[in-house]
Amino acid sequence: MIKQFFIISSAIIMITGFLLIWDSSPESFLEKKHINTDRNLIADSYMGQASTSIFGTDGQRNLLLVTPKIELFYKKGVALFEKPVLVAGSSKNSVRLIAKSALLVKETNKIFMTGNVQLKSTLENEISTLSTENLIYTFDSGQIENDAFFSLKSHNTKLTGVGITAKPLSGNYHFKKNIQAHYETFR
């Protein structure tokens, strides 16, 4: 009786092992490459083709965010976005931000955007476009901050400089230093 139990148990283990190996992908048998350990961020989860809204304390939508990929880091309290598109405001007054990547820090209600940042602001019928390499957007107040080089173009004006603080939805801009303005009278 013990011999039969041993034979049956051995057969079950061998069949299970055979099925596990048979069902495994060929890549699982290849040698693993070393992972770069310089980057200690490991996403707790991620989403693809995401669209989300951020609401303020008054219940109004502050921001619509569309991105092909979001990586969430719960322990650090941040979310990393690839190629984000942010839209804030209404149909008459709106702000649209595009960048290569962005980092949302919920604790500070800020989004740190980097890599070819483009901000398109529409006030009534006037459209302005701001270009820079990095930008901080505070989504509770709608304020942007930047200490890097920027270029701001509107109907017939082009401003360049270093450093800007603005609330594009209200049309308030504060330029910090090295400001140059080019105004075209004829188009």
| Segments making up each domain of the chain, as ranges | 45-183
Distance from CA of residue 6 to its chain's centroid?
58
Which DSSP symbol is given to 33?
Answer: P
154: which residues sit within 8 A by CB, 6+ positions away? 126, 127, 128, 129
* Residues 122-151: b if buried by 16+ CB within 10 A, e if exposed: bbeeeebebbbebbbbebeebbbbbeeebe
At 65, the pLDDT band (50, 70, 90 cuts) reads: confident
Rounded mean pLDDT, 109-124: 88
32: which residues sit within 8 A by CB, 6+ positions away? none
pLDDT score of 41 more than 60:
no
**Domain covering 45-183 in this structure, CATH number:** 2.60.450.10
Radius of gyration of the chain (CA): 26
Rounded mean pLDDT, 154-176: 88
d(CA 37, CA 26): 26
pTM, two decimal places = 0.67
d(CA 134, CA 145): 9
pLDDT score of 187 more than 60:
no
Q: What's the confidence (pLDDT) of residue 37? A: 41
pLDDT score of 120 more than 70:
yes
Rounded mean pLDDT, 51-63: 75
At 29, the pLDDT band (50, 70, 90 cuts) reads: low
Please report which helix (H) or strand (E) contains residue 5, including its range: helix 2-23
d(CA 141, CA 146): 15
Q: What's the confidence (pLDDT) of residue 135? A: 92
174: which residues sit within 8 A by CB, 6+ positions away? 164, 165, 166
